[in-house]
């Protein structure tokens, strides 16, 4: 067995370092060698154990004093992490890892008790008109809601939940193995920290019941498919009368018969007569939100040409103004002609230069 390295050396510390220095040094070392960031790397796992062992000694005033006087021999085997699993270390230092890494504790870490209900996700389809106008809609969905009989407490009316006597309200019970303390959710209260002696008969102590709910959701003008709205406190009720989760509304825009949407831009086809395409003129379009747009057709417009009307598209969600409107010109060719119409077209054809045709490559 190789000789243990000096704990100060392991964490890159001087012997006169402060407790805050020890904590900062361990944070850097644990983050660098954490098994979640170095999966399958046995060397990183060994270094993670080594720096955790050093921290367990240097962060404890009594152990550090003994180590400073007598070295590794003074600790005996009480600080040996070589035979300890990574998950046990993660469990032992779970609260600290939560502070360090925003909850990174690995698969062996214990969970904190829930302090709010679960979030709910639903999908809502809007018409293009609704997306452009913006609107409020009452959205029905099935889900758990606070029980009316117990007001979400889970206890029978006239009674109340009490502090769990087994975990003393912490939601966790601990057991010691060697020098490491292991924590797990309290079996009596399910990790909530409270116990209900007289459960509500309607919700059976859960505080919530399954039923159809209706929530008013505001959809801003310009919202698009794939975007999500959050409605606070409209999700699942929390355990033990804790706050509910949030409702997330996923938005989908239904196809429109006349318009295509591309982000903030709209596209549509406009059929004009042969005379208007030739001579030019003005016409009017009604957008899905009933906005009236004047369209000027240039003389000599060809089938398939596109007119771009700036600022006539969809309202921009994140800023003022609107996108653009792209108008594809279709020339309407009549399929039935009167004798007079045929005569006039022939005269026009002769006036324009005859009926010769020519093939060309596009």
Per residue in 229-265, pLDDT tens? Answer: 999 888 887 765 678 888 999 999 999 999 999 999 9
Q: What is the pLDDT of residue 77?
A: 64
Residue 53: name the closest of 10, 23, 16 by CA.
Answer: 10
Mean pLDDT across 325-333: 94
Mean pLDDT across 219-226: 93
CA dihedral of residues 130, 132, 136, 139 (deg, nearest 10): 50
Cβ atoms of 104 and 96 within 8 Å: the answer is: no
If you search the block for the tokens 């010769």, which residue do you land on?
356
Half-sphere exposure of 191 (CA within 13 A, CB side): 12
If you search the block for the tokens 């060719």, which residue do you land on?
333
pTM: predicted TM-score of the whole model, two decimal places = 0.54
Residue 257: name the closest of 110, 129, 115 by CA.
Answer: 129
Q: What is the pLDDT of residue 109?
A: 37
Instruction: Give the lowest-confidence range in 3-12, 95-104, 154-163, 164-173.
Output: 95-104
Q: What percent of the chain clears pLDDT 70, i.e. is strictly above it? A: 83
Per residue in 290-299, pLDDT tens? Answer: 999 999 999 9
**Residue 179: DSSP 8-state:** T
Q: What is the pLDDT of residue 1?
A: 42
**For the chain, which domains are there?**
7-101 (1.10.287.110), 120-161+196-253 (2.60.260.20), 260-352 (2.60.260.20)
Higher pLDDT, 284 or 89: 284
Higher pLDDT, 227 or 160: 227
């Amino acid at each position: 067995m190789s000789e243990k390295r000096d704990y100060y050396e392991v964490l890159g510390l001087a012997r006169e370092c402060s407790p805050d220095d020890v904590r900062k040094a361990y944070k850097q070392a644990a983050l660098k060698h954490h098994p979640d960031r170095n999966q399958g790397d046995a060397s990183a796992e060994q270094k993670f154990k080594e720096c955790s062992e050093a921290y367990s000694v240097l962060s404890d005033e009594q152990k550090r004093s003994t180590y400073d006087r007598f070295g590794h021999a003074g600790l005996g085997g009480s600080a040996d992490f070589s035979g300890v699993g990574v998950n046990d270390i993660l469990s032992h230092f779970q609260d600290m890892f939560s502070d360090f890494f925003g909850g990174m504790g690995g698969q062996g870490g214990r969970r904190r008790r829930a302090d709010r209900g679960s979030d709910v996700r639903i999908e809502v389809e809007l018409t293009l008109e609704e997306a452009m106008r913006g609107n409020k809609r009452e959205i029905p969905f099935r889900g758990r809601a606070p029980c009316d009989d117990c007001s979400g407490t889970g206890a029978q009316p006239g009674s109340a939940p009490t502090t769990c006597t087994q975990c003393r309200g912490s939601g966790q019970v601990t057991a010691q193995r060697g020098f490491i303390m292991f924590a797990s959710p309290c079996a009596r209260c399910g990790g909530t920290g409270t116990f209900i002696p007289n459960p509500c008969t309607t919700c059976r102590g859960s505080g919530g019941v399954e039923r159809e709910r209706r929530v008013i959701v505001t959809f801003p003008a310009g919202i698009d498919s794939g975007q999500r709205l959050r409605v606070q406190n409209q999700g699942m009720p929390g355990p033990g009368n804790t706050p509910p989760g949030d409702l997330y509304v996923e938005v989908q825009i239904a196809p429109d018969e006349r318009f295509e949407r591309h982000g903030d831009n709209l596209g549509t086809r406009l059929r004009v007569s042969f005379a208007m395409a030739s001579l030019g003129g003005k016409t009017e379009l009604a957008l899905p939100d009933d906005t009236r747009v004047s369209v000027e057709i240039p003389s000599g417009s060809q089938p398939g040409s596109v007119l771009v009307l700036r600022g006539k598209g969809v309202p921009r969600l994140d800023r003022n103004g609107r996108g653009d409107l792209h108008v594809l010109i279709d020339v309407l060719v009549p399929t039935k002609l009167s004798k007079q119409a045929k005569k006039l077209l022939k005269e026009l054809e002769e006036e324009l230069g005859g009926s010769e045709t020519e093939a060309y490559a596009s």
